[in-house]
Amino acid sequence: MTSRLYACRPGRERVLADELARVLPASRHEVHGTGWVESRLASGDAAASPCLAFAAQCLPDPEPIQAPSVSATAQAAAQLVMERLSGHEGPWRFHVFCVETPGSTVRASRCGLVEKQVLDALRRRQKRLVATRVVVSARPWERDEILVQVALVEPRLAFFSVAGSAERERLKGCMSRFPGGVVEVSEDRAPPSRAYRKLLEVELRLGRRISSGETCVDLGASPGGWTHVALGRGARVIAVDRSPLRADLMAHPHLTFVRGDGFSFEPEDKPVDWLLSDIIAFPVRTIGLLERWLAKRWCRCFCVTIKFRGQDDYPELERLKAILVASGADFQLRELTNNKNEVTAFGELG
């Protein structure tokens, strides 16, 4: 039976298991401790391409490594890497990660040690694998690239997983090229709010930045974190909110401020390069907004947060997934590392 191990944000295990049950109802999904959910797939589900907003990372066909120490884990993992990549001349990535919480028994430092010892072993025994390894997470996947993952779940239990390019493509709705699906962004005190972190994370995940000369519509823009990022990239911004942005942004020559309702705003010159929306509203309204913009093709790229109060509205995401698929967009729907109780839909229209 095909199985998959998913990593998620600590505390989101039940939410992810429920999402899996909505998406793949014939399969079995079980929470395994903090940050982990396992799926045992019904035969018809193995070929599906699930879009899972609450999965940070996916490990297809995970193989247990039971080992008493860091060095024994690294030894076993190095052996598996050499066996599985023996005929692969192309690029590959290597992620060793855990889901760290304040009380967790496995910490990121242990992952660093395992990774170092695996690479040391490869340097001694299979030097070519060290040379073909991709080290920069932000670099987009290459066509024939393989993802090798070691997830440290407990001090004596790890899982090893290999995903070739076809599997990566099939699982792109729940797999990340960042270790454990966690994307760190640099701290910056210049923007007027911490919301800027979400937009920087989306740029990294997309592998595409807002560019100089592009036009962005920023709905629900105040106090201006996202607008600050876009103006900093040299873009023109039409910011729509009921409240003004920080004074320096309001005075920026590339900013047009529209005081009003983001839901009824329609750009004059269409399509714009980016639709950005961080409006606080019920999910059904934000989903409707994105649906309209995509159907009318008013934007080329989009980054839209869907905000929740509690958990009752999470099933609304299934309708959003259907809208995104129907639009033909190359999209991702994720609970970002920098999201609170919200998920973010982002992507490009073809």
Ligand X SMILES: C[S@@+](CC[C@H](N)C(=O)[O-])C[C@H]1O[C@@H](n2cnc3c(N)ncnc32)[C@H](O)[C@@H]1O
Closest distance of CB 311 from ligand X, Å: 20
From residue 62, give the alpha-carbon distance in Å to each of 32, 121, 178, 230, 288.
Answer: 14, 22, 18, 40, 38
Closer residue to ligand X in complex, CB, 124/309: 309
222 makes contact with ligand X (CB under 6 A): yes
State how far the Cα of 28 lies from the Cα of 93, in Å rounded to an integer.
29
Q: Can you give the length of the chain in residues?
A: 350
262 makes contact with ligand X (CB under 6 A): yes
State how far the Cα of 343 lies from the Cα of 40, in Å rounded to an integer.
26
336 makes contact with ligand X (CB under 6 A): no
State how far the Cα of 275 lies from the Cα of 346, in Å rounded to an integer.
9
226 makes contact with ligand X (CB under 6 A): yes
Closest distance of CB 193 from ligand X, Å: 4
261 makes contact with ligand X (CB under 6 A): yes
Residue 348: what are its φ and ψ, rounded to 5°? -135, 140
Closer residue to ligand X in complex, CB, 59/240: 240
Residue nearest to ligand X (CB): 225
225 makes contact with ligand X (CB under 6 A): yes
DSSP state of 133: B
The active-site residue out of 127, 270, 307, 321 is: 307
Q: Which of 243, 253, 310, 312 binds ligand X (CB under 6 A)?
A: 243
Partners of residue 29 on adjacent β-strands: 39
173 makes contact with ligand X (CB under 6 A): no
Known catalytic membership, residue 307: yes
220 makes contact with ligand X (CB under 6 A): yes
Rg (CA), the chain: 21
Q: Which of 40, 124, 125, 242 binds ligand X (CB under 6 A)?
A: 242
State how far the Cα of 318 lies from the Cα of 262, in Å rounded to an integer.
24
Torsion of CA 14, 18, 19, 23, to 10 degrees: 150
Sorted by sequence, the CB contacts under 8 Å of residue 107 that are 6+ apart come out as: 98, 100
Closer residue to ligand X in complex, CB, 129/279: 279
From residue 272, give the alpha-carbon distance in Å to each of 97, 121, 261, 281, 346.
Answer: 39, 51, 18, 23, 15
Closer residue to ligand X in complex, CB, 178/226: 226
Closest distance of CB 240 from ligand X, Å: 6
Closer residue to ligand X in complex, CB, 177/228: 228
Q: Which of 8, 52, 65, 279 binds ligand X (CB under 6 A)?
A: 279
**First vs last C-alpha separation in the chain:** 36
Restricting to residues 182-211, name those near ligand X by CB under 6 A.
Answer: 193, 195-196
- Among the listed ranges 89-97, 115-123, 209-217, 261-269, the one in contact with ligand X (CB under 6 A) is 261-269
Residue 165: what are its φ and ψ, rounded to 5°? -65, -35
Sorted by sequence, the CB contacts under 8 Å of residue 122 that are 6+ apart come out as: 78, 81, 82, 129, 130
Closer residue to ligand X in complex, CB, 18/342: 342
- Among the listed ranges 8-16, 50-58, 144-152, 224-232, the one in contact with ligand X (CB under 6 A) is 224-232
Residue reference for tokens 């052996």:
79
263 makes contact with ligand X (CB under 6 A): yes
In the complex, the residues that contact ligand X under the rule CB under 6 A are 193, 195-196, 219-226, 240-243, 261-263, 278-281
